[in-house]
Structure 1
Amino acid sequence: MLTVKDLNVWFGFPPDRVDAVKAASFAVAPGESFGLVGESGSGKSTILRAIAGLIDTWSGRIEVDGKAVAGRTRDRAFYRTVQMVFQDPYASLHPRHSVDAVLNEALTLQGMDDIDARITRLLEDVGLGRGFRFRYPHQLSGGQRQRVAIARALAAEPRLLLLDEPTSALDVSVQAEILNLLADLRAEHKLTYVMVSHDLAVVAHMCDRLAVMQHGRILEVMTADALRRGAGQQDYTRNLIAASTGYSRS
């Protein structure tokens, strides 16, 4: 579903150029959930943004469902296949747009028909009733806002979801609900996930495999089972696991 080969991403120009991602390569199979982990500034979210077309200063090869993408240009077909859920549900929804307006716009942009019924179905898919349809973001909790953001991403009926720390801005009590929702949606809609998280316990629970990043480079790709066992090949990986607050190997 996704192939990233020798991806380099940079910002600025010499002598102030910053190389955020360096020669990153990995592949994600259809239906797989793949994680990107590492310390802040390691390049995890930058990779997602390059895939999504939000950054145009990159080189290498990105293929989605066997089709190469270039630069920052993405066509409607791309966004029918790939959608992104951002970290902060407070920032990703327009404060003056109701839930209905948010979903209506997403469906219209994708050329969908029968919009009224689709909005109802999207709200049901993410565990929100039709009573939420005409509410505004300020009338929603953080978890409810993120459910709306997920519904907006699902409006295009994508096959690949890019998840950029989708629960880190939420209260701990709500995080598990959103993670369980994402797991259920993946099974129900046969979705492929690429998930960025700093929480190794979340990645161990949600992902099949993961890439460990440091200073813009992928150090190793490992299975979630190896993560749970603390069996990293690199010293950095083992130290990262050991330093994870609240992480359990059970």
Structure 2
Amino acid sequence: MSAIDIRHLDVWFGTGAQRADAVKDVSFQVADGESFGLVGESGSGKSTILRAIAGLAPTWSGEMAVAGETLGPSRSKDFYRKVQMVFQDPYASLHPRHTVDRVLSEAMTLHGVPDIDTRIGRLLDDVGLGAGFRFRFPHQLSGGQRQRVAIARALACDPQILLLDEPTSALDVSVQAEILNLLADLRRDHDLTYVMVSHDLGVVGHLCERIAVMKEGRFVEVLGVDEMRLLEAQDPYTRHLLESSVHSVR
């Protein structure tokens, strides 16, 4: 069974003459343990798909089954134990007055995770920070360190699936590589499934096996990462994206 099965997904905002269709008839499946990428220009609808899966897009139609649960208008508490999201901006995603310890302990308390004290230490080790960061505030951390805390928070309830919304785009190039390597290691060590949004083909090529190219709310083409690296796209739009990003992909 697929970890994620999306069929004929439409997402829109507004009504009547003000309606804007952000995602149009999108279907895809993601296998357990796979990393699937969504790429495209700004406004192509890729982040909206993640928000629809997470329950943050109120108006949608189609069928979504995620982590064994058929999704409706709301999400169960069990869903959020199995599916977590890492957002783009590590500066905005952490409460400025909460220590790392409080950020992680509140996430675990919310989901009834036992032995919080021990688990916090393990999470900090898993994301490459260590116990010395436990009682620091966000303003005492670099951008990369904050994103590591955000990833640790997402892992706090031992999820099966991570939705990654441009997780490196707000970071310096040197730090981006560190976070991508961390995500690759965590996926292997925790048997995670990823859906990753990025505008950077080099980023998704580093982490994903398959990539869906989006344009104006639709899937243009789905191709394997090897096809992407060899510029073996069938659609002219995809070929244009690949050719313009060839240096970052390779």
Give the TM-score range, shorter chain. Answer: over 0.9
1:25 equivalenced with 2:33 (yes/no):
no
Classify 1:248/1:191 alpha carbon distance in 2 versus 1 (closer, same or farther; 3 Å).
Answer: closer
Match of 1:124 in 2: 125
What SS does the corresponding residue of 2:135 show, helix, strand or coil? coil
The amino acid of 1:98's aligned partner reads T
Q: Report deviation, 1:192.
A: 0.4
SS at match of 2:57: coil
Partner of 1:215: 216
Q: Which residue of 2 aligns with 1:186?
A: 187
Amino acid at match of 2:97: R
SS at match of 1:163: strand
Rounded Cα–Cα distance in structure 2 between residues aligned with 1:82 and 1:113? 19
Correspondence for 2:177: 176
- Percent identity of paired positions between Structure 1 and Structure 2: 68
The residue number in structure 2 matching 1:135 is 136
Residue 100 of structure 1 aligns to a residue whose secondary structure is helix
Relative to 1, partners in 2 of residues 1:158 and 1:199: Cα closer, same or farther, differing over 3 Å? same
Report if the CA contact (8 A) 2:4-2:67 is conserved: yes
Deviations 1:181-216 (A, max 9, x none): 000000000000000011101111110101110000
- Structure 1 residues 75-99: Cα deviation after superposition (integer angstroms, max 9, x where no partner): 1110111000000000000101110
Q: What SS does the aligned partner of 1:97 have?
A: coil
Matched, 1:246 2:250: no
Q: How many angstroms does 1:131 deviate by? A: 0.8
* SS of match in other structure, 1:246: helix
Aligned length: 248
Cα RMSD after superposing both structures: 0.9
Asked if the contact 1:122–1:155 (Cα under 8 Å) also holds between the matched residues in 2, the reply is yes
TM-score where L is the length of structure 2:
0.97
Kindly indicate whether the alpha-carbon contact (under 8 Å) linking 2:69 and 2:79 is maintained by their aligned counterparts in 1.
Answer: no
CA distance in 1, matches of 2:148, 2:248: 26
Q: Deviations over 1:51-81 (max 9, x none)?
A: 001111000011012321111x111110111
CA contact 1:85–1:150 (8 Å) conserved in 2: yes
> Which residue is 1:34 aligned to?
36
2:65 alignment partner, SS class: strand
TM-fit CA distance, 1:13 = 1.1
Please list every run of 5 or more consecutive structure 2 residues that lacks an aligned counterpart in the other structure.
none
CA–CA distance in structure 2, aligned partners of residues 151 and 248 of structure 1: 28
Q: Secondary structure at the match of 1:204?
A: helix
Paired position in structure 1 for 2:65: 63
**Which residue identity lines up with residue 237 of structure 2 in the other structure?**
Y
Distance 2:6 2:119 in 1: 33
Partner residue in 1 for 2:97 = 96
Q: CA deviation at 1:245?
A: 6.7
Q: Normalising by structure 1, report the TM-score.
A: 0.97
CA contact (8 A) 1:241 1:247 kept: no
Q: Which runs of 5+ in 1 are unaligned?
A: none
Q: Provide, for residues 139-177 of structure 1, a one-character-per-residue CA deviation record: whole Å limited to 9, x for no partner.
A: 000000000000000001001000000000001110000
